Chains A and B, each alone.
Chain A
Amino acid sequence: MKLEEAARRAGAALRQQASDVTPPSLHEARQASRLRDGLTLASTAFLAALVVAVALALLVGPSRNRDVADTPLNTLAPVPSSADAPPPSEVSAVAPARVWRISYPATWYRADSELMPDLGMDSLTLATNPLTMEPSRCDHMPAASLRDLGDDDALVSVFFTGAELADAPPWPATGMNGERFPASLSTAAHVCSGRDDLEVHWRPWNLDGEGIQVLVVFGADVPEERRAEVWAVVSSLEASDERTEGSACVVTKPPVPGLTPPAPYNATPSPDDLVWYGTDELWTVLAIDGSFVPTKSVWWSTLFRGGSEEPMPEISVRFDRVDQTAPTIHSEGLGTNAYTVEDGWFMMADMEQEPAGCWRVTTSYRDATLSYVVWVP
């Protein structure tokens, strides 16, 4: 069987299966949603504690920062571990991110990836007017900033897509302008901002072997001299040969085969590029190649008695930045419980958006401690 045939057959099978599903009423859907929300109350409490912890850490930042700054990279003191800690892991360096450069006037405003936190990739946005940071239904557009763009203002966003856009046209070394990079009539920028008066240039490029998606937006009445300034800024974008501090991140690469926990837990996690990492007393799931997967906030333990007896397990999680100075992020004691048919009872201490960088994650539950290093892109 050919791939196309298998894909069409498998797709039709799912459509057929879903055709037997009866949509619930909105009332039923709301009830189910409230149930799901109820299950996360404890997690919310944990997140609140985490926010407080971060705030406190920032308040006491100076002395803490000095401590960390005096410590050379990758030579932080060993993390205490229990007697039956996991065997030493292999380690491998993570492919570091490139350093990108762009020149812009001091009067412009700048935001990094936090402007679009759900985008899932690094981004940089510059504008001639202050940027607006508001949640948006469009996680791939600086929608609020576009909405607030003045008639004589302009905005430039660059999304760093890595290998994904390798087949895009090459980025010109100099002289980018509206002829080389023509405007589009209808784009996500128009839809997300709710404005049809914007001049939007939006397309992928290949800059020195790596993909970028570039957005250049002009208000309705931008004077020529400012347009020239904007294109000069866009033209200044370049990829340097430097690497970010991520190159110093030596991540934990779990042993393979990984831990095999006792029944009734699954012997291996799914999918098969993941392994269990830790001991029977405390384990989690890591990618075999050491790369980041957003599953670092779930833990299992044979000592955990389940949600009915231990609804808020006393599990603590701590994030220590390895590659540069940063406040330690930590929680104390407030976890929550969850259950799946596949994976049984487990503990959660969720961080939906792990901060980017190189982190040593240390988790403690009862007398067990588990520690690993991860590069969060």
Chain B
Amino acid sequence: MDESGEQAEVAIRAGFDVFYADNYRPVVALLSALTRSRWVAEDLAQEAFLRAHREWADVQRFDAPAAWVRRVAINLARSRFRRLRSEAAARLRLRPVQTVAELEPADEAFWAEVRRLPGRQAQALALRYVDDLSIAQIAAVMGVAEGTVRAVLTQGRARLQRQLTAKGWID
């Protein structure tokens, strides 16, 4: 490889490093909401970023690489098989599991109720409240129209309200 080729590769790698550093923790948080296990969330996030790394030459040219990696991560989380595989692998992790603060019971219970919602409603709510994304950004991640996101969020909130109210957790 000539010098200009090496420089280009270094620049591409640096671009991915920044992308990884900026997005890894938010994606872990997002997946924690959707999978009930931070271990699984971390494993799936790593899998999503490895895919991004493999295809970085293409992914970096997308309008929203961050939306792409979130979509991949959500798709991974949707697969029960992959979740089971990650849960099984979690026992044998090569890295020691980091100690992080446990969630308050109320927050844990909130996300447990979100996970009982239909998939797209749970995903939209997690993108909204964990990732703090706008409607347009959620639409980009989910690959649907903004109006669809609004509808899905409205339906999800209504159903969640019923679930949480029935349990006396909210007014």
Among residues of B, the one whose C-beta sits closest to the C-beta of A298 is B84
**Given known contacts A33-B46, A35-B94, A137-B55, A21 and B157 CB-to-CB distance under 8 angstroms:** no
Which stretch from A4-12, A67-75, A88-96, A319-327 is at the chain B interface? Answer: A4-12
> A39 near B: Cβ within 8 Å?
yes
Q: Count how many chain A residues have C-beta atoms less than 8 Å from C-beta atoms of the other chain.
A: 66
Q: Which chain B residues lie closer than 8 Å to A298 at the CB level? A: 80, 84
Decide: B143 and A16 in contact? CB cutoff 8 A. no
A58 at the interface (CB under 8 A from B): no
Residues of B within 8 A of A14 (CB): 29-30, 32-33, 103, 107, 111, 130
Q: How many cross-chain pairs have Cβ atoms below 8 Å apart between A and B?
A: 179
When the two chains form their complex, are residues B164 and A36 in contact, meaning their CB atoms are under 8 A apart? no
Distance between Cα atoms of A11 and B130 in the complex (Å): 4
Question: Which residues 42-70 of B sit at the A interface, judged by CB distance below 8 A?
Answer: 42-43, 46-47, 49-50, 53, 55, 58, 62-63, 68
Q: Which residue of A lies closest to B161 (CB)?
A: A3
Contact across chains for B88 and A18 when beta carbons are under 8 A apart: no
Decide if A264 is an interface residue (CB 8 Å cutoff). no
Q: Which residues of A contact B75 (CB under 8 A)?
A: 118, 139
Q: Which of B38, B50, B58, B86 contacts A30 (CB 8 A)?
A: B50
Chain A residues near B55 (CB, 8 Å)? 137
Are B160 and A3 in touch, CB under 8 angstroms? Answer: yes
- Mostly, the A contact residues are mixed
Q: Are A164 and B120 in contact (CB under 8 A)?
A: yes
Say yes or no: B151 contacts A167, CB within 8 Å: yes
A87 proximal to B (CB < 8 A): no
Known interface pairs A6-B106, A297-B81; A32-B147 also in contact (CB < 8 Å): no
Q: Is the CB of A10 within 8 A of B129?
A: yes
A302, CB-defined interface residue at 8 Å: no
Determine the distance from Cα of A204 to Cα of B93 in the docked complex, in whole angstroms.
Answer: 44
Is A273 in contact with B110, judged by CB distance below 8 angstroms? no
Q: A17 with B32: in contact, given A118-B75, A167-B151 (CB under 8 Å)?
A: yes
B125 at the interface (CB under 8 A from A): yes
Residues on B with C-beta less than 8 A from A13 are 103-104, 107
Checking A17, A23, A31, A40 against B101 with a beta-carbon cut-off of 8 angstroms, the contacting residue is A17
Contact of A26 among B36, B50, B143 (CB under 8 A): B50
CB of B141 to closest CB in A, whole Å: 11
A343 to chain B, nearest CB (A): 9
**Which B residue sits closest to A139, measured CB to CB?**
B75
Given contacts A11-B129, A15-B26, contact A271 B95 (CB under 8 A): no
Within A327-365, the residues touching B (CB, 8 Å) are 338-341, 348, 350, 352
For A338, the chain B residues whose CB sits under 8 A away are 84-85, 87-88
Q: B28: which A residues are within 8 A, CB to CB?
A: 18, 21
Among B42, B72, B84, B94, residue most surrounded by chain A Cβ atoms (within 10 Å): B84
Q: Say whether A98 faces chain B, with CB atoms less than 8 Å apart.
A: no
- Of B20, B30, B85, which contacts A40 at CB under 8 A? B85
Q: In the complex, what residue of chain B is closest to A35 when comparing beta carbons?
A: B89
Check B47–A33 contact: CB distance below 8 A: yes
Bound-complex Cα distance A36 to B49 (A): 15
Q: Does A165 contact B (CB under 8 A)?
A: yes
State whether A2 touches B170 (Cβ < 8 A): yes
Q: Which residues of B contact A22 (CB under 8 A)?
A: 98
Nearest residue, chain A, Cβ from B30? A14
Residues in B whose Cβ lies below 8 Å from that of A52: none
- A selection of 24 A-B contacts at a CB cut-off of 8 Å is A1-B170, A3-B160, A6-B169, A10-B110, A14-B111, A17-B101, A18-B25, A18-B28, A18-B32, A28-B95, A32-B46, A35-B94, A36-B86, A137-B55, A137-B72, A139-B143, A164-B148, A203-B145, A213-B144, A272-B116, A297-B81, A298-B80, A338-B84, A338-B87
Interface residues of B (CB under 8 A from A): 20-21, 24-26, 28-30, 32-33, 36, 38, 42-43, 46-47, 49-50, 53, 55, 58, 62-63, 68, 72, 75, 78-81, 84-89, 91-95, 98, 100-101, 103-104, 106-107, 110-112, 115-116, 119-120, 125, 128-130, 132, 143-145, 147-148, 151-152, 155, 157, 160-161, 164, 169-171
| Additional pairs, 5, CB under 8 Å, beyond known A10-B129, A33-B47, A167-B151 | A18-B29, A24-B95, A26-B50, A36-B47, A36-B85
Give the 3 A-B residue pairs with the shortest CB-CB distance, closest first.
A11-B129, A18-B29, A10-B110
